[in-house]
């Protein structure tokens, strides 16, 4: 079988949207061991990359040796536009492809791709999973990190992506696809979260973990009821602390010349200050909220 592995998105971030540093170069061993090597044992495989420039670009390309690569401007592209560019690249360069497996740089895999539920006789489009039962029931939210598209469905998938340009959210792709085909399948049964950062059960999926994000002892805000203000503050606090520690570890592991001895001490104090500010945000009380609670205790 001819298989295209499309790796899309950021491979390096100083801070992701939760504040954690992301260095995709660290997770290429997992990609090689769990995805590329098992595929190459049975299939003809070509690797394609659509990403953004970074200090690690050359090292990433030297490690992957892709068939083709595209560097986009992160200021003018988004995840849907980047995905579209990747689909077009595969279609142009590898038209005889039987299956497109699209993934990201920031994943460490929990099992070999040979064990993924993507090898059925019937062909179609595979999405990771339904994302949270309540959100699935509300608007058919699905996982956004991994997609598998069989030959004959690449055009349908591309049309759906193109239609989603105005709302660049891959979590909302299911209904757009369902309007074009009924050959939609899931790699994993059950309800999970694409983000593996938090401690609730949905964040522990069977397919991957997000590299660089430790699991924090707090629930995903989706799972916290509207009245759970204290728990929301706790979640924000432990996430901020974990992100600050991750950035500190990254910086202290840099070559000595980056900071020098006194610079490293200063960097530790900088992180301590960041954690102190997070603690203050977690415990401070809004006076207006306190007045409302006194006047309306049941509110």
Q: What is the CATH number of the domain that holds 136?
A: 3.90.550.10
Q: CA angle 123-129-131, nearest 5°? A: 145
pLDDT at 122 over 80: yes
How many other CB atoms sit within 10 Å of the CB of residue 53? 13
State how many domains the chain has.
2
Residues 159 and 92 grouped into a single domain: yes
Q: Is residue 154 part of a domain?
A: yes
Mean pLDDT confidence for 195-205: 97
Beta bridge partners of 130: 142, 191
pLDDT at 290 over 70: no
- Give the SS3 label for residue 234: helix
Q: Are residues 234 and 163 in the same domain?
A: no
**pLDDT score at 165:** 87
Residues 196 and 70 in one domain: yes
203: DSSP letter: G
50 and 197 assigned to the same domain: yes
For 87-100, what is the mean pLDDT? 97
Distance of alpha carbon 103 from alpha carbon 169, whole angstroms: 16
More reliable by pLDDT, 264 or 147: 147
**299 — pLDDT class (breaks 50, 70, 90):** very low
Same domain, 61 and 201: yes
pLDDT tens for residues 52-64?
999 999 999 999 9
The pLDDT mean for the chain works out to: 92
Q: Among 210, 243, 265, identify where a domain stops.
A: 210
Taken in order 107, 110, 115, 117, is the CA torsion positive or negative? negative
Last residue of a domain, one of 148, 179, 210: 210
pLDDT-derived band at 289, boundaries 50, 70, 90:
very low
pLDDT band at 270 (very low <50, low <70, confident <90, very high): very high
Query: Is residue 83 scored above 60 in pLDDT?
Result: yes
Residues 204, 106, single domain; the answer is yes
Domain check: are 241 and 102 in the same one?
no
Q: Which of 144, 179, 210 is the last residue of a domain?
A: 210
Q: How far from the centroid of its chain's Cα atoms is residue 12's Cα?
A: 12
Question: How much is the pLDDT for 115?
Answer: 98
How many Cβ atoms from other residues are within 10 Å of residue 272's Cβ? 12
Report the alpha-carbon angle 61-63-68, nearest 5.
40
Say if strands 22-23 and 12-13 run parallel, antiparallel, or are unpaired. antiparallel
Extended beta strands in 199-271, E state: 208-210
Task: Tell me if 124 sits within 8 A of 148, measured CB to CB.
Answer: no
Q: Check residue 258 and give its pLDDT.
A: 60
Domain assignment present for 153:
yes
Q: pLDDT by residue (tens digit) across 21-75?
A: 999 999 999 999 999 999 999 999 999 999 999 999 999 999 999 999 999 999 8
- Category of 108 on φ-ψ map: left (φ > 0), alpha (ψ -120 to 50) or beta: beta
At 251, give phi and psi (nearest 5°): -70, -40
- Whether 298 shows a pLDDT value over 60: the answer reads no
Residue 215 lies in a domain: no
Give the rounded percent of residues in the chain with a pLDDT score beyond 70: 93
Which pLDDT does position 158 carry in this prediction? 97
What residues form DSSP beta bridges with 169?
Answer: none
Residue 4 near residue 77, CB atoms below 8 Å: no
246: domain range?
A: 221-295
Whether the Cβ atoms of residue 164 and residue 157 lie closer than 8 Å to each other: no
């Amino acid at each position: 079988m001819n298989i295209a592995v499309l790796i899309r998105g950021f491979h390096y971030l100083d801070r992701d949207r939760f504040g954690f540093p992301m260095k995709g170069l660290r997770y290429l061993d997992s990609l090689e061991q769990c995805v590329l090597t098992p595929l190459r044992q049975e299939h003809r495989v070509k690797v394609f990359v659509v990403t953004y420039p970074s200090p690690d670009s050359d090292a990433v390309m030297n490690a992957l040796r892709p068939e083709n690569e595209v560097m986009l401007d992160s200021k003018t592209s988004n995840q849907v536009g980047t995905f579209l560019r990747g689909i077009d690249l595969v279609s142009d360069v590898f038209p005889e492809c039987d299956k497109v497996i699209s993934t990201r740089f920031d994943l460490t895999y929990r099992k070999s791709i040979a064990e993924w539920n993507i090898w059925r006789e019937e062909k179609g489009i595979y999405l990771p999973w339904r994302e949270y039962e309540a959100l699935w029931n509300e608007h058919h939210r699905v996982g956004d990190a991994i997609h598998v598209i069989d030959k004959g469905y690449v055009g349908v998938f591309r049309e759906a992506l193109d239609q989603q340009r105005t709302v660049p959210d891959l979590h909302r792709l299911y209904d757009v696809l369902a309007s074009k085909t009924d050959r939609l399948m899931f790699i994993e049964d059950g309800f999970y979260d694409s983000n593996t950062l938090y401690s609730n059960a949905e964040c522990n999926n069977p397919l991957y973990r997000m590299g660089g994000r430790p699991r924090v002892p707090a629930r995903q805000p989706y799972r916290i009821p509207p009245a759970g203000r204290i728990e929301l503050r706790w979640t924000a606090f432990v996430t901020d602390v974990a992100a600050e520690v991750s950035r500190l570890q990254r910086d202290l592991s840099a070559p000595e010349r980056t900071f020098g001895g006194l610079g490293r001490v200063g960097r530790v104090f900088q992180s301590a200050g960041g954690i102190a500010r997070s603690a203050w945000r977690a415990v401070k009380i809004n006076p207006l909220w306190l007045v409302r609670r006194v006047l309306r205790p049941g509110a």
